Every structure is written in structure tokens, then in C-alpha cells.
Structure 1
Amino acid sequence: MNTTAFLPKNKALPSTSFANHVGYRRMFAPDKLTLGVFLPLRFYQGDEQVLKGQIELIEYIDQKNFAAVWVRDIPLFDPMFGDAGQLFDPLTYLSFIAARTKQVALVTGSSIFSLRHPIDLAKAATTIDQLSGNRLVMGIASGDRAIEYPAYGIDYDQRAARFAQSIDYFRQLMQHGSLEIQSPLGTISRAELLPKPVAGQIPLIVTGASGQSKQWIADYADGWLSYPEATSHSEGAIRLGQKIATWRSLIPNNDFRPHMTNDWIDLVDDPNYPRTPLRGGFTLRTGRHGLIQLLEEWLAAGVNHAALGIQYSKRPAAEVLQELAEDILPHFPSHTTVEGKSVDW
């Protein structure tokens, strides 16, 4: 589907620079790779108490200098998917995490832009941006759980068009002064959204295709998260690199746009345990040497940030995080070139 046709002629384009954006600069730099952690640290399996004590581990992630923590946007639990995410509303939860951390980037992975109205998304996003000291980075998507669309009264087949329209509307809301917005999603005349984001824009990272072409993602996204190819052997990273290179060749003016990927890992005690696919390849069981090898392959492929989920790990979450922090993170340090913004609300 060519969703460019759904955007107005004066399209709100990506930012040409996030040089002063704290969260973005902590995560991304050309030819470098940083590490983030996907929440929850343990999957919900009928008992919400599985999340008890998670905030202390998030504080540990922050203290140990991981680049980011990631939260999912799953409005309704569909047992057919078997994954309820972190249960809490993602932006509300990030506000809570922001109050308990100091430097880690706060990332949605991913906010379902096709289901949410841009005004509500923008109001929550700019609020978190201000309260966290400019640490919010938004992974965004059109959603893949068909059960959610009729619940919102939205046609599932319109999700790609609504996604493109929502991004344009969201970015126009960031502008200063009285707004004049004409969109299929609503009309604004002589009004303004407050607060404004600290650095002028909120980074919008498109997840997967979200119903768009690679050219559209190159033209309108502030970055791209694509799912990894096979992670148990080096050929997967080679294919991923080819996909990234094709996308980057389409970006106007050869601007730097970061690429991200993610994987669910079962990190075992034996550091030499070979890279072994589980669950049809959706999870990787490996030791730390195998994980370092994979991350190095991703770096060579052009990946700038890797988000790791440890939900399937057999070992305690605290133990896995400690090994990641002590033995793997030093190979892929977070960037600290931008000073955090002071928060005094």
C-alpha cells in the first residue's frame, strides 16, 4: 500500500538532527552499537506478582549504564499471542520509571500509533520528555493484534493509512505557536499543544514495516527497528546488513538514521555454550561469548542499538543482568556525549 498518498503536501518531516537529545544521543552514534533491555524481565503467566521488585532491577540497569529500557504497548491481552507485555500502560509506566532513574533512555517498543489519537500521544510524550530530562525515544508501529482494532472501532485494514496520518499530525503538534492542522484524524485551528519537547522533537523510530515501504521509512522515520534474521549463525547478520544497507541507500542526503534490532535470549551459565535457536528461532540460547559474537556481527551489519529481552532465561533476572553488565556491556558502552537535562519540577 502506498501510504504517501494519505499525507498532506506539507508533510512534517523527520528532524535533521537530534544532536542535543539526551535519550537519542545515549543510544545512537554512527558505526557504534549500544545495549538496551526489554521489559518485563519475566513474562506474565496469570499472576501480576511476577513484576514485583522489577523497579529495583530497572534502577540497577540505570546504575550500570545500559543505554535504554524498552516497554511494549499492548492494550488488550490476546491469549493467542501469549504475551501481555509489561501489563502497565507504556507511557504511564515510563513516567514511573523516569522518577526512579537518572540517565537511561526510556523507549517505547512500540507505541501503536494507529490506535491512539496523536493529541493524546503527543501530550503524554512531551510530558514524559520534560519530566525525565529529555530521555524519551518512541518506537512506533501500526500494531499486529487484529483483536484490538474492533475494540477501538477502527477498521484493521486502515491501520497503515492511520499510521502515516498519525505521524504527520504528531509532528505538527510539536510546532510552536498557534496551530492550523487539517488531517483525516482531526482539525485544529488557533490552538497549541503544551508542553513542548525539550529538544524540539520526539524521535520516532518505525518498527518493522508498519504497512509502509522502505522508501517511506527512509523519508519519514527518525530511525528504523527491524527484526533480526536468524541469530544462531552469521548468515543471518549478513542478510540483516543487506537489508539495512538497502534502506540507508534510500535516505535523503545520506543523513545518519539509526537502525535497531532486538532478540529474546536465554543466557546460560556456560560462557562457551553455542548459539542455539529455540521456539522456532524466536529465542536464542547461548553463553556470553556467543552473545558477544552476535552483537559484533550486528555492529558490522550496521545496527546501532540492540534491545535484549531476558524473559525466557532460566536463570534469575538479577543474575542475567549482572553478567550482561559486567561481561558484555563494556564491549558496547552507552554514549555520554550529551549532558542530561536537569529536572526541577
Structure 2
Amino acid sequence: MSDRTGHVGFDRMFANGRLTVGLFLPLWPYTGDMAALRGQSALVQEAERAGFAAAWVRDIPLADASFGDVGQVYDPWSALTWLAAHTSTITLASGSVIFSLRHPIDLAKQAASIDHLSGGRLVLGIASGDRPSEFPAYGVDFESRGRRFREAVHAFRDLLKPSASGVDLLPKPVHGHIPLLVTGSSQQAPDWIAEHADGWLVYPGSTTTAEGPIALGKKAATWRGRIPGAAFKPVATNEWIDLMEDPLHPPTPLRGGFVLRTGTQGLLELLGRWQDVGINHCALGVQHGSRPAGEVLAQLGEEVVPHFPALETAAPQASAW
């Protein structure tokens, strides 16, 4: 069975036995000055030219000081729309939209609109949410997030199908559907994720020892063993890196393992191990690094991405609205 789906965004990122590299936004953190965030989309354009497979945005509705992370600050749909207008081939991805907090009609309308404006390049990482402070602000019970997530997934897909009721949601996705990657467990059983997700977005575990990728590969293989019909469904992960100029700088965990300080050689070895054990995509984040993002992206584009480039696909649909 072919793992090519005809969805240009999905197929740029994923193929059986291959690993591609994406880029997590923001490229540098918000420190209280919105003007200081300017210039990131220009670097995404450079990443597209360098062969990165995807640009990822996050969904963090409210800044919670206890988490210390506000993402790219902008609403993910707005950020993705901006990127759709300023790029032409790179996949636009979310990591991850909180399906349990949003109405399915709004989710489907926004996603299908961005999919059209990007020519069919949208891939959604989705989650049930893990920040308890956001739920009462929406008037939603935190403990209901698993049920609400399942209901939203089913309703989202139904809304994107043609309707015979006389009341319909437009536009429909360019390729007939929008791939959904479930993040972590999202309060669901593994069998449910294996059946209903188009792929799995999973946390990497240890990245400084050979045992870490082996454990991640076993987790991916166990999940894939639950997929009905043994169909190919990709597994993606992410890593925050502090890339050193010295290519031989040894992999070193920072902030309790949340950030990996490494040279190019250590990063290539990690990505190669992940590819060998069945991981199909890694979204790299550089915002916690010690060097300017532009320098790091240039180094990644020259020394890393050519080993794990975006996959060949048909051209996205023209979308000069």
C-alpha cells in the first residue's frame, strides 16, 4: 500500500522509512515587546528555500505565568494565514490546536479557509489541552476535555464533508480532508488514536543517549500495531535545541532535558536514529538557544536539512485570492 496520499502538505512531511525536519515558531521568545518579534516570517521563507518540510505554530490562548511560555503570541489561525500569504510550498502545521476548547464549526471554518488560502498545505496537530487555567476562562470543565476532544474531532470531519441538508460549511478542503495528528494521549485510549488519527505527535523522551530513540521507536511500533489494516500513519516528534557552532559539541541536556545543546554531528546522529526506528518528522525549536535564530537556521539549512529534506510532491494549488 502506498503511503503517498495526494495531500501536498502531508506528503511533503511524511513517508514510510523517511524523516523530515520542520521548524517550530516562534524563532525567538516574546519578552514583552511585540515589535521585537518582527522578522520571523522572513526566516520562515529562508527555511522554505532551504528545504524544511513544515513550519509549526502553537495554540496558547492565554498567557499563564506559571507555564512561562506564550508561544508565538499571535492566534494560530492568524499566524498560519500570514504564513500562507508569505510562503508557497512549505507545509503549515499546528502543534497543537486545542480542540476541546473550540466549537467544531469555528475549527472547521478556520482550518478549511487556511487550507484554501495556502493551496492545500495545512496539517493540524490537535490536542485536548493541558493548561487548567484556560478552561474556566472558556466556561469549560477541565475534566471534560477528553470527551469534548473526541466529539470535536468527529464533528470537524463531518463538517468538512459535503452536506445534503441544505445547510453547509464552505469552503471544503483542497484535498477533501485536513490531516489530524493527535498529540500525546489527548485523554484518549491508544486504540482510539490508532483508528481515528491520521498520525501521532509524541514527545521525544531522552535525546542524549542511544536508549532514548530506541524507546521512542518501540512506542511508535506498539502504536502502529494497533492501526486497523496496518495502514501507514506517521509518527512525529519535536526537540528544542541550542545548536553550537562547533559541529562536534557533545549532546548535552539543558533545563532538565527540555533543551538539547549539541553540535551538528550530534543532531544528525539523533535524527538518524529516529529515522531508523520509524519516526517520520521532527519539528525543531530554536527559541531557547544562545545564538541568533538567523545564524542557527542558516547552519541547519546547510548542514542538517540536506540529509532530511522535504519530500517531493505535486505543487500546491494556486491560491491568489
Checking the alignment, whether the CA contact within 8 Å between 2:4 and 2:15 is kept in structure 1 is: no
Identify which of 122, 140, 156 aligns with 2:108: 122
**1:168-220 per-position Cα deviation (integer Å, ceiling 9, x unaligned):** 000000111325xxxxxxxxxx4111000011000000001100111111011
Checking the alignment, whether the CA contact within 8 Å between 2:59 and 2:71 is kept in structure 1 is: yes
**1:251-284 per-position Cα deviation (integer Å, ceiling 9, x unaligned):** 0001000100001000011100001001001110
Partner of 2:154: 168
The offset of 1:344, in angstroms, is 3.2
Partner of 1:150: 136
Identify which of 206, 224, 244 aligns with 1:248: 224
**1:127-171 per-position Cα deviation (integer Å, ceiling 9, x unaligned):** 011110000000000010000000000000000000000000000
Q: Which moved more, 1:136-145 or 1:48-57?
A: 48-57
Measure, in 2, the Cα distance between the counterparts of 1:51 and 1:178.
Answer: 45
Partner of 2:298: 322
Q: Matched residue of 1:163: which SS?
A: helix
The offset of 1:18, in angstroms, is 6.4
Measure, in 2, the Cα distance between the counterparts of 1:50 and 1:275.
Answer: 30
1:140 aligns with 2:116: no
Q: Matched residue of 1:124: which SS?
A: helix
Measure, in 1, the Cα distance between the counterparts of 2:147 and 2:3.
Answer: 26
- Aligned-partner residue type, residue 24 of structure 2: F
Partner of 2:264: 288
Cα pair distance change 1:316/1:296, threshold 3 Å: same
Checking the alignment, whether the CA contact within 8 Å between 2:3 and 2:16 is kept in structure 1 is: no
TM-score, normalised via structure 2 length: 0.98
1:63 aligns with 2:49: yes
Checking the alignment, whether the CA contact within 8 Å between 2:51 and 2:306 is kept in structure 1 is: no
Measure, in 1, the Cα distance between the counterparts of 2:36 and 2:71.
Answer: 12
The offset of 1:44, in angstroms, is 1.2
Partner of 1:207: 183
Checking the alignment, whether the CA contact within 8 Å between 2:54 and 2:93 is kept in structure 1 is: yes
Partner of 2:281: 305
- Aligned-partner residue type, residue 273 of structure 2: E
Measure, in 1, the Cα distance between the counterparts of 2:214 and 2:4.
Answer: 29
Measure, in 2, the Cα distance between the counterparts of 1:338 and 1:33.
Answer: 19
Partner of 1:104: 90
- Aligned-partner residue type, residue 59 of structure 2: D
Measure, in 2, the Cα distance between the counterparts of 1:314 and 1:68.
Answer: 23
1:94 aligns with 2:70: no
1:278 aligns with 2:254: yes
Partner of 2:61: 75
- Gaps of at least 5 residues in structure 2 are none
Measure, in 1, the Cα distance between the counterparts of 2:41 and 2:174.
Answer: 26
Measure, in 2, the Cα distance between the counterparts of 1:50 and 1:256.
Answer: 42
**1:53-78 per-position Cα deviation (integer Å, ceiling 9, x unaligned):** 11111111112121000000000000
The offset of 1:229, in angstroms, is 1.3
- Aligned-partner residue type, residue 26 of structure 1: R
The offset of 1:125, in angstroms, is 0.5
The offset of 1:340, in angstroms, is 1.9
1:192 aligns with 2:168: yes
Measure, in 2, the Cα distance between the counterparts of 1:263 and 1:331.
Answer: 17
Q: Matched residue of 1:224: which SS?
A: strand
Measure, in 2, the Cα distance between the counterparts of 1:105 and 1:337.
Answer: 11
Identify which of 225, 228, 234 aligns with 2:201: 225
Checking the alignment, whether the CA contact within 8 Å between 2:109 and 2:170 is kept in structure 1 is: yes
Partner of 1:36: 22
Measure, in 2, the Cα distance between the counterparts of 1:329 and 1:344.
Answer: 29
Partner of 1:113: 99
TM-score, normalised via structure 1 length: 0.91
Q: What percent identity do the matched residue pairs reach?
A: 54
The offset of 1:292, in angstroms, is 0.2
Q: Matched residue of 1:97: which SS?
A: helix
- Gaps of at least 5 residues in structure 1 are 1-15, 180-189
